Structure 1
Amino acid sequence: MNAARVPAGRRPVGEATRGTTGHNRLRRADRWTAAVYGPLLVSADRPLVVDLGYGASHVTTSELFTRLRRVRPDVEVVGVEIDPVRVAAAKPYERPGLSFVRGGFELPVDRAPLIVRAFNVLRQYGEAQAWDAWDLLRSRLAANGVIVEGTCSEIGHRAAWVALDARGPRTLTLAARLAGFERPSDLAERLPKALIHRNVPGERVHDFLRDFDRAWALAAPYGAYGARSRWVAAVERLAGTWPVAAAPPLGGRRRWRLGEVTVPWTALAPHGRATPGPGG
């Protein structure tokens, strides 16, 4: 594809990230995206996917390309980075259907993307700025398009992401490697910017994590069968009081066994933010 460039003299929208990345860091989000939005990719005409802020290495964009091509063999993926040095370093890894361009939240591509992935991009921004970035990205989407925006740990063992469409945020997903953490609330450090500062008493996300920890404690006997069994039992208990996604593609035991749990955004939205931001 012939991706558009940032017009001469116009600065990309946004700021450079630290650029930290690595092999398989975003595998959990990629796996979820392929499962949940695979039908969207399959049914679309000339689907375009943007990986926004891919960092100092091309690797996570290239992995996304490979994984989504298993779902839709002709999908096109564009890595967008604000740092020209990073774009230059990624250029040698381009191939048919995979390209890298300089840009930011304005998404300098030649047509509206069906999916935008933006990971570990908004952590450096304030909460209000993050909402503004969401609004700008949503305005660039194709019809029925989606954004998967979140954060993860350095090696990807802990992650959280929000799925958004033209109407605004729709779901929050928590995902973890089920060995090496003490309780579900350990994932709080990976909450998206729109929620991370709301993990305080009186906010819904705080209540959710508190109840998840209680469900995890009550599921301790299942630990004899492994952390996976304990996680599934905890999520099943949590689903008794929270609207946890319990059916495919967002939920159910198959997804829970992967260390995931997905909840509607409206169940966790910050007070005063239950509906989309401006433009939603």
Structure 2
Amino acid sequence: MGAAVVGQVTRGTTGTNRLRRVDRWIARHPALRRADDPLVIDLGFGASAVTTLELHARLRRERADVQVRGLEIDADRVARAQEQLAASGVTGVSFGRGGFEIPLPAGRRPVIVRAMNVLRQYDEAAVTDAWRRMAGRLAPGGVLVEGTCDEIGRVMTWAQVSADTVPQTLTLSLRLAGLERPSIAAERLPKALIHHNVPGERVHAFFAALDREWERAAVQSPFGPVVRWRTALGAMAQSGWELRDRARWRLGEVTVPWSAVAPS
């Protein structure tokens, strides 16, 4: 008998372009670019193959030899995805049954595991073990990308976790047009953080500072939301917040070290 599948069946909600923001971030990640074996896992792809196929299409623009494998606990979802794959004619993508244990043949190890909207239905106490299992399957230098988003992918957050299960960064990615407050992302924080958005916690202080600078930058609104966003983030950086990947601010992103938002 094969190894037991580890995890719970997710709600399976998915949709076209829902994960575009995290996909483009993964596509530019050094781990993918430098990998000898560019294997990427889409864990918990849901009721349709669409986001796995989209992930492959976006990554192959950077690595033509990338391979993406979608894993699901529900056998019916796997069968449906395989049918969709056959109809698409796409190569470099496969689907199989699996959970946090990430079963792979011949001892292969993925360079990236994308696990979006998977842990949100779990208790916070289960996060550490889930991270340990997933990150433990990574190739050296690989990363686990774990987070959540709204139903249409306009508000998204994710944690980057290293192969030794150390969380490294938190990234927010927002549709800036029509954005009222950046703290809307607090509703979509990874499970490891979402219950810590309360006074006295680092992540709460981060969102308070981000909202405050967004409001102060309202005078830049006539020049567009991207200018307003950059102005707000520039002010945060000047006040002492360590904000990374400045070149990606124009995309509505901001990345901070995990230590800046980690639970007390």
Give the TM-score taking structure 1 as reference length.
0.89
| 1:74 aligns to 2:74 (yes or no) | no
Match of 2:251 in 1: 258
In 1, the alpha carbon distance for the partners of 2:237 and 2:25 equals 20
Q: 2:174 aligns with which of 164, 173, 176?
A: 176
Moved over 6 A (4+): none
In 2, the alpha carbon distance for the partners of 1:46 and 1:182 equals 42
Q: Which runs of 5+ in 1 are unaligned?
A: 1-6, 246-250, 272-280
Q: 1:106 aligns with which of 88, 101, 107?
A: 101
Provide the secondary structure at the position in 2 that maps to 1:219: helix
In 1, the alpha carbon distance for the partners of 2:237 and 2:27 equals 24
| 1:47 aligns to 2:45 (yes or no) | no
In 2, the alpha carbon distance for the partners of 1:181 and 1:71 equals 30
| 1:60 aligns to 2:58 (yes or no) | no
Match of 2:243 in 1: 244
In 2, the alpha carbon distance for the partners of 1:43 and 1:184 equals 33
Deviation at 1:140, TM superposition (A): 0.8
| 1:90 aligns to 2:88 (yes or no) | no
Q: 1:208 aligns with which of 206, 211, 216?
A: 206
Provide the secondary structure at the position in 1 that maps to 2:69: strand
More helix by share: 2
Provide the secondary structure at the position in 2 that maps to 1:229: helix
Instruction: Name the amino acid aligned to 2:158.
Output: W
In 1, the alpha carbon distance for the partners of 2:258 and 2:33 equals 26
Number of residues of Structure 1 aligned to a counterpart in Structure 2: 256
Give the TM-score taking structure 2 as reference length.
0.94
Instruction: Verify the 8 A CA contact 2:31 2:143 in the aligned structure 1.
Output: no
Q: 1:160 aligns with which of 157, 162, 166?
A: 157
Q: Which runs of 5+ in 2 are unaligned?
A: none
Instruction: Name the amino acid aligned to 1:230.
Output: R
Deviation at 1:177, TM superposition (A): 0.5
Which whole-Å deviations, capped at 9, do the CAs of 1:15-73 have from their partners, x for residues lacking one?
A: 011101011100000011112x1x33232222210000000000000000111111111
Instruction: Name the amino acid aligned to 1:211.
Output: A
In 2, the alpha carbon distance for the partners of 1:195 and 1:183 equals 19
Match of 2:260 in 1: 267
Q: 2:113 aligns with which of 113, 116, 124?
A: 116
Provide the secondary structure at the position in 1 that maps to 2:120: coil
Q: CA RMSD in A?
A: 1.1
Provide the secondary structure at the position in 1 that maps to 2:243: coil
In 2, the alpha carbon distance for the partners of 1:264 and 1:21 equals 29
Provide the secondary structure at the position in 2 that maps to 1:117: strand
Identical aligned residues as a percent: 58
Match of 1:30 in 2: 23
Which whole-Å deviations, capped at 9, do the CAs of 1:68-97 have from their partners, x for residues lacking one?
A: 111111111100001111000000205432
Deviation at 1:239, TM superposition (A): 1.1
